[in-house]
Amino acid sequence: MVENHHNFAWKEMHDGKEVIVHRKGATPADKNVLGIIPGSMTAPGFIVKGLGEEASVNSASHGAGRKMSRTSAIKSITHSQLNEVLVKYGVKLLGGGLDEAPFAYKDIHEVMKAQKHLVETVGLFYPKIVKMDGAQPKQWKKKKTDEIVGE
């Protein structure tokens, strides 16, 4: 069994001290620890075994990583483009929006090449059914507020 949390903190020993390691955008890759590094809705995911690289705090990426912000993806990718690529790769989408479209992510093969000193690939899997949040992304821009006129 392989379990891979997205945004958690662990108590670990580093340099002889107990520390809390918060991995945001990273997955544990301690020596011989199994993990999952997914691509996108259409790209393969990798089953990996950690190599225990202390310089990376025994961590590796937890996925392909974005090449487009959510806002950029929503503005530049159409539903038609998303549907076309899903059909091409034979993927059924149960939930997910344009902000999670495959075009918004880096090439997982390049990401994996860049971290070959952190993990060893032991298997691949290809998505066929994808379930993501599907809710409208939150708008992070500040809303204008009424200014208070001086006293």
Catalytic residue among 6, 14, 22, 62: 62
Q: By 3-state DSSP, what share of the chain in percent is helix, strand and coil, each rounded to 5?
A: 25, 30, 45
Per the CB < 8 A criterion, the answer to whether 128 and 88 are in contact is no
φ/ψ (deg, to 5) at 89: -95, 0
In 3-state terms, what secondary structure has residue 53? coil
14's CB contacts (< 8 A; 6+ apart) are 21, 54, 57
131: amino acid identity, one letter: K
Q: How large is the greatest C-alpha to C-alpha distance in the chain, in angstroms?
A: 68
Task: Let me know if 109 is a catalytic residue.
Answer: no
Query: CA torsion sign, 114 to 115 to 116 to 121?
Result: negative
Q: Which residues are catalytic?
A: 62
